[in-house]
Amino acid sequence: MAELKKVGVLTSGGDAPGMNAAIRSVVRSCIFYGIEPVAIHEGYKGLIDNDLEIMNARSVANIINQGGTFLKSARCQEFRTPEGRAAAYENAKAAGLDGLVVIGGDGSFTGAMLLEKEHGLPCIGVPGTIDNDIFGTDFTIGYDTALNTVVEAIDKIRDTATSHNRLFLIEVMGRDAGFIALNAGIAAGAEEILIPEDQKPIDQLMDSLENSGRAGKTSSIVVVSEGDKSGGVFELSRAVEENFPAYEVKVTVLGHIQRGGKPSCYDRVLASRLGVASVEALRDGISGVMVGVRDQKIVQTPLEEAISKHNAIDSNLLKVADIVTV
């Protein structure tokens, strides 16, 4: 196995809090192990455009607590083509990169997998996305921060809901997975939680709201995952208003505040651990895998598997949600 001399790092796809902590960890792990770290700007686009920068330990000072990614992220249609990837590889080769760490979600991992398969550049994936929908890790970087952001926002809305006896429908992120909605919903004391994995007929929601009303609850919070199939939070609002003309229904779409903010302690530690693990994997001659954390231990999952499989919602948690909103 050839000695590792130069490793690139990039962030790709939707940004997530903790990506900077992950970049910092990759850079410093490289330095710790005598490898030269190279930052690639704007994801795969920067590889194609040859927008690279040699890093040192000071390059990543004071970023561990910053949201977003200072390397930036960008969509890159060109990289989805074999020609784009070939161009990217040429630049990587010219720069002397003998390994690449890709921080992002499954779209980003698909790119890494193809780059390695087609051109032999050893790639490691690091799961960075607020959605927590990546197989091969219990938690993705950014997810814990997003949960806290959502819960803080719903706490605020609860203040006004309670003051006015209102029903709030709150849409949170999670196109394919209800992790954010389910956990933040439990934590915020939501009366109902609608997620893609557990489609309830709308009648059930109406029954539940009616029961709430009878039990003396005068305000309600319903958390809706954007991936829920009931037709979107605005359509849901119309349905509730038709069924309960007396209710004052309000809709809030939390939107992009969920992506930003200072990363939580958990996300910073997770990012630090996975950054180290990604460089150590490359040093061990391992590639084509994503590093993740399972049962608090570092594990590696082939990129192919990380992309194709999905974490299931914990069904016990669905039950907990039912019980605590009694």
The answer to whether 159 contacts a second copy (rule: CB under 8 A) is yes
Amino acid code (one letter) for 203: D
Query: Is 189 labelled a binding residue?
Result: yes
Three-state DSSP class for residue 139: coil
Q: Which span sits near a second copy by CB under 8 A: 56-64, 103-111, 234-242, 301-309?
A: 56-64
Within 225-244, the residues that bind a second copy by CB under 8 A are: none
> Which one among 87, 95, 114, 187 touches a second copy, defined by CB under 8 A?
187
Alpha-carbon gap, residue 325 to 192, rounded angstroms? 8
List 221's β-bridge partners, or say none: 168
Residue 256 to residues 27, 102, 148, 171, 264: CA-CA distances in angstroms? 28, 23, 14, 11, 17
* Interaction pattern, residues 123-142, with a second copy; x per rule: CB under 8 A: ---------------x----
Amino acid code (one letter) for 151: V
The answer to whether 5 contacts a second copy (rule: CB under 8 A) is no
User: The tokens of 289 are what?
Assistant: 């895998």
Question: Would you say 25 or 91 has its CB closer to a second copy?
Answer: 25
Alpha-carbon gap, residue 190 to 92, rounded angstroms? 49
**95: how many CB neighbours lie within 10 A of its CB?**
16
> Which residues touch 63 (CB under 8 Å, ≥6 apart)?
20, 21, 23, 24, 70
> Which one among 88, 151, 209, 291 touches a second copy, defined by CB under 8 A?
151
Query: Measured from the CB of residue 72, what is the shortest distance to a second copy in angstroms?
Result: 6
Amino acid code (one letter) for 71: L
Alpha-carbon gap, residue 321 to 195, rounded angstroms? 12
> Which one among 243, 252, 299, 304 touches a second copy, defined by CB under 8 A?
252
Three-state DSSP class for residue 286: coil
Catalytic-residue membership of 131 = yes
Query: Measured from the CB of residue 93, what is the shortest distance to a second copy in angstroms?
Result: 27
Within 303-322, the residues that bind a second copy by CB under 8 A are: 314, 316-317, 319-320, 322
Q: Which span sits near a second copy by CB under 8 A: 98-106, 121-129, 233-241, 288-296?
A: 288-296
Helix (H) or strand (E) holding 122, with range, is none
> Which one among 80, 117, 119, 262 touches a second copy, defined by CB under 8 A?
262
The answer to whether 4 contacts a second copy (rule: CB under 8 A) is no
* Interaction pattern, residues 69-108, with a second copy; x per rule: CB under 8 A: x--xxx----------------------------------
Which residue in the list 15, 131, 144, 267 is annotated as catalytic? 131
Query: Measured from the CB of residue 94, what is the shortest distance to a second copy in angstroms?
Result: 26
Within 13-42, the residues that bind a second copy by CB under 8 A are: 15, 17, 19, 21, 24-25, 28-29, 31-32
> On the CB side of 52, how many CA atoms lie within 13 Å of its CA?
22
Length of the chain: 326
The answer to whether 204 contacts a second copy (rule: CB under 8 A) is no
The answer to whether 283 contacts a second copy (rule: CB under 8 A) is no
The answer to whether 209 contacts a second copy (rule: CB under 8 A) is no
Phi-psi region of 296 (alpha: psi -120 to 50; beta: other; left: phi over 0): left
In the DSSP assignment, the letter for residue 141 is B
Residue set of the binding site for ADP: 24-28, 158, 189-191, 217-219
Catalytic residues: 131
